[in-house]
Structure 1
Amino acid sequence: MTPLDLVVTPRGTRFLGRYFPCTIGRGGIVPAAAKREGDGATPAGVHRIVGMLYRPDRLAHLPDWALPIGPSDLWSDDSADPDYNLMARAPHRFSHEKLRRADPLYDLVLITDWNWPHAEPGRGSAIFLHAWRRPGYPTAGCVAFAPQNLRWIAQRIRPQTRLIVKA
């Protein structure tokens, strides 16, 4: 492990000598081989941070490698889509998530390399780090933080920082 690794532990996520409360998927942590689309689980393993997205109308002063989320930006979660587990643009005929949401959950999103960039259909899409709804409220498989903690982390990570989720 390196100092820039984010390590999910039973106490929360450890990063740069600090612990941050976090929530994980409603399906708990599962071995990577068992992860399936829609199971609500967070896959165990080592996942690289490969991107950062943000709402420019709500946030500023992010690292220069962060990309703005536009009104038509989507994330494909449909195994039949040739763009499965990739960013897409509206209109999009396959199942997807809107990245520009009315709530603040995706105001700042760190993208992991789970099942990316060459997605295997059905293995699950979009393991993001994002803001939580509230403490203890599970995600659909992502790792979620208090918004201020997510911003603190985002200011200090680098591309290829690793998210380590232990089973």
Structure 2
Amino acid sequence: MIYSLADLVLTRRGLRILGRHLPCSIGKGGIRADKREGDGATPVGEHRITGMLYRPDRLAAPQPWAEPIRPGDLWSDASGDPAYNSHVRAPYPASHEVLRRADPLYDIVLVTDWNEAGEADRGSAIFLHQRRRPGFPTEGCVAFARPDLIWLARHVTLGARLIVRG
């Protein structure tokens, strides 16, 4: 496989981009090829960065294409729902994640195209975001220290490949 300098290459040891190594946390279920909703795994494969969300009350837009997270912004994790694995707005009665959190974990969110079609039980909300603390696993996302995430958000391009290797 040939990589571009702008590719994000993720292994269990961290993420490489533009010659830098960024330590990160992955899903508590490890890196898996058979990702399922609720398994806590980070899906193996080639994914694309399809968007960026950020908290405008906490920081400036890292990129001109970043979209603000507003009150009432949610992400559907209701497998089988027509809006599964997509950005939705409150009120939304099905299962979901709140994007505008009290903690800083979603101050910047890089959205991937994992299960963009919303296929039931394939998993949802695979994001790159801020970590809780070093070594603390995610529910399947990839999480970084805040300074590393800000650097990444300022350097990543829309459509960049996130290559996850097991």
| Range of TM-score over shorter length | over 0.9
User: 1:147 and 1:166, CA in 2 relative to 1: closer, same or farther beyond 3 A?
Assistant: same
Paired residue secondary structure (2:155): coil
Cα distance in 2 between the residues matched to 1:61 and 1:126: 21
| Paired position in structure 1 for 2:20 | 18
One-letter code aligned to 2:153: A
Paired residue secondary structure (1:106): coil
Cα distance in 2 between the residues matched to 1:97 and 1:11: 28
| Paired position in structure 1 for 2:135 | 136
One-letter code aligned to 2:25: T
How far did residue 11 of structure 1 move?
A: 2.5
Paired residue secondary structure (2:15): strand
The correspondence of residues 1-167 of structure 1 with structure 2, limited to 5 A, is: 1-31=3-33, 34-116=34-116, 118-167=117-166
- Give the TM-score, by structure 1 length: 0.96
After the TM superposition, which parts of structure 1 deviate over 2 Å for at least 4 consecutive aligned residues?
Answer: none
Gaps of at least 5 residues in structure 1 are none
Structure 1 vs Structure 2 CA RMSD: 0.7
Preserved contact between residue 11 and residue 19 of structure 1 (Cα < 8 Å):
no
- Give the TM-score, by structure 2 length: 0.97
Preserved contact between residue 48 and residue 162 of structure 1 (Cα < 8 Å):
yes
Cα distance in 2 between the residues matched to 1:38 and 1:120: 14
Percent identity reads 63
Cα distance in 1 between the residues matched to 2:15 and 2:127: 14
Cα distance in 1 between the residues matched to 2:29 and 2:13: 18
